[in-house]
Chain A
Amino acid sequence: MTITQVPLVDYLVLGDSPHLTANECTKCGARYFDRRNACASCFATDFKKVAIANEGIVRSFTIVTFAAPGVPVPFVAAIIDCAGTSVRGNLANVEATPEKVTLGMKVKLTTYSLGADDNGLEAIGFGYEPA
């Protein structure tokens, strides 16, 4: 079967149960979403893939109404505490107002299409929606 979808970033795992993964240091447990040469916390060099919890709470957010050219506004940028692992992501399926978005609100991972490229490959992004 040909690949028809690609994740926005390689730490988003698609399929039946989409989730994020991290590179976890096998020595101290520090987690990283990008590839690392060595652990920034303990300097070890072995990592294993671990799944990140899909549910979390909003630890911080901002409603961006003025952004760089080409970045659609408004959007809600947030830091989500997913069972002890901090994740950066946009909030989805919620009105971008301080009345609707609150610190400590419960959210869960969701995915959405970013459209297809010239070769018919569809990119899939992620965000967090109210749980």
Chain B
Amino acid sequence: MATDDIYILGIYMTKFGKYPDKDTVDLASEAVIAALADAQVTMKDIGVMAAGCLMGQGGIGQMIQKQVGQTGIPVYNVSNACATGATALRTAIMAIKAGECDMGLAVGVEKLAGVGLLGGGGAPKSKNKEWTPSGRFGSVTNVDGLIGTAAMPGTFAQVGMEYGHKYGGATFELFAKISEKNHAHSTLNPLAAYTKRMSLDEIMNDIMISYPNTRPMCSANCDGAAAAVVVSGAKLKTLSLEQQRRAIKVSASILTSDPYQEACQVLPDVNTLTRIAAKQAYEQAGVSPSDLNLVELHDCFATAELVHYDNLMLCEEGGAVDFFNSGATWRDGSMPVNVSGGLESKGHPIAATGIANIWEVCHHLRGEAGPRQIEGAKVGLAHVIGLGSACGIHILEKSAL
């Protein structure tokens, strides 16, 4: 192992679901303590900490330290929409790359069970009914529902439908079949919030939220946390053979924001920044999409999964529909995608998601994924998108030991 490589030494995710008796600090602490145990180190070994809780108040990192160990190290509290967890991980990695320390901790946590629809709405601008222009658009009232939709299910529905307009074949049934796959995968994941297999009929006839996304085609709001310990290659060499054997190499760690595109002001462009991040990640890791044994991508909605097959270059440009219809992305296919069940069934506790997807990939690369193990997995990719936008991609490789 090269001394300037970065490795995941320990990693953990809580079961995703409902925790009425635990707060975010409880969940994050469980993840941190278990990730440290998995790494066989303590807070004393950690030189930097990055933490995220998108919906929480500031200072989550310090709040967690008070429950797991206050050692005086720098804490970076990060916020980057649904890419918050990946941003925390990348922050810890950058500190090690910069030579500030040789071991870092990243943690993401969220409590979202029962919060309902995300995005859109808002209070009336004025208590009295008065049409007074304000804001950057000079609007006289809230425009959600009057000028398109600001809510997430409709926003991502349009992302998928736009792909259909460009390339064809993206029908309601096709998107529902993507959801059917992820719900089927979830039955093997005991940490998923929902583990019920759903038939295509059940999915298509469930409550329509924003055509073509029905309820089971939307990411599940739930509670959860995930944490990871990262270490430099130089430090890893000094650790035990057992730690070296289970360490997972971070072959690429990339974060991008969206470059200007003509339409990005009217519909978030989740494509361009993902494609750029993927290209950078493959170059940095020295791997090609065909080298990947599994992919965890950001299926916040079934309509989003389709476009990311293309953005991550898992298929030919414009070929995502045929690629899915070939069966490639099922767990027994040539390119298993979201074998965890994805955000649609595993759940999407926002700031935890960008570390939980890394946990899933590491689990397979370590050969510890039990009944849902992708046999012989050596290379995997984890992807998240936060609107606004931020895209995090990590490529991970099995230890050579």
Contacts and interface: CB of A to CB of B under 8 A. Distances in A.
Interface of A: 6-11, 30-35, 40-41, 58-73, 75, 77-79, 84-90, 98, 103-104, 114, 117-119, 121-123, 125-126
Contact of A68 (B121, B131, B159): B121
A33 B265 contact: yes
A104 B170 CA distance: 14
16 contacts: A10-B133, A30-B262, A34-B265, A63-B211, A64-B211, A65-B208, A66-B208, A67-B151, A69-B121, A71-B144, A75-B145, A88-B148, A90-B148, A98-B211, A117-B129, A118-B130
B260 A90 contact: no
A68 B165 contact: no
A41 B260 contact: yes
Interface string B203-236: 0000111111100000000000000000000000
A70 B122 CA distance: 9
Contact of A10 (B128, B129, B137): B137
Nearest to A29: B262
A33 B117 contact: no
Interface of B: 117, 120-122, 124, 128-131, 133, 136-141, 143-149, 151, 153-154, 157-159, 161-162, 164-165, 172, 207-213, 260, 262-263, 265-267
B136 A123 contact: no
Q: Which of A32, A72, A117 has the most CB of B within 10 A?
A: A117
A61 B147 contact: no
A28 B128 CA distance: 42
Given A60-B162, A103-B161, A123-B140, A67 B146 contact: no
A65 B210 contact: yes
A10 to B, nearest CB: 3
Contacts of B138: 7, 9-11
Contacts of A67: 117, 120-121, 144-145, 149, 151, 154
Contacts of A31: 262
Given A63-B211, A67-B144, 14 more contacts: A7-B140, A8-B146, A9-B139, A60-B158, A66-B209, A68-B120, A68-B145, A75-B145, A79-B266, A86-B265, A88-B266, A90-B146, A98-B172, A123-B141
Main secondary structure of the interface of B (DSSP, over half): loop
Contacts of A11: 137-138
A77 B158 contact: yes
Nearest to A57: B165
Contacts of B154: 62, 64, 67, 77
Contacts, number: 162
Contacts of B128: 117-118
Which 8 pairs show the lowest CB-CB distances between chains A and B?
A68-B121, A10-B138, A71-B145, A86-B263, A62-B157, A60-B162, A63-B211, A34-B136
B267 A86 contact: yes
Nearest to B135: A34
Nearest to B158: A60
B123 to A, nearest CB: 9
Given A60-B162, A65-B208, A118-B128, A70 B121 contact: yes
A64 B212 CA distance: 9
Given A6-B140, A66-B207, A67-B117, A88 B267 contact: yes
A32 B124 CA distance: 25
Nearest to B211: A63
Given A62-B149, A66-B208, A68-B122, A79 B267 contact: yes
B147 A9 contact: yes
Contact of A64 (B133, B137, B145, B165): B145
Contact of B260 (A8, A30, A73): A30
Given A66-B153, A118-B130, A60 B161 contact: yes
Contacts of B137: 9-11, 33-34
Nearest to B168: A103
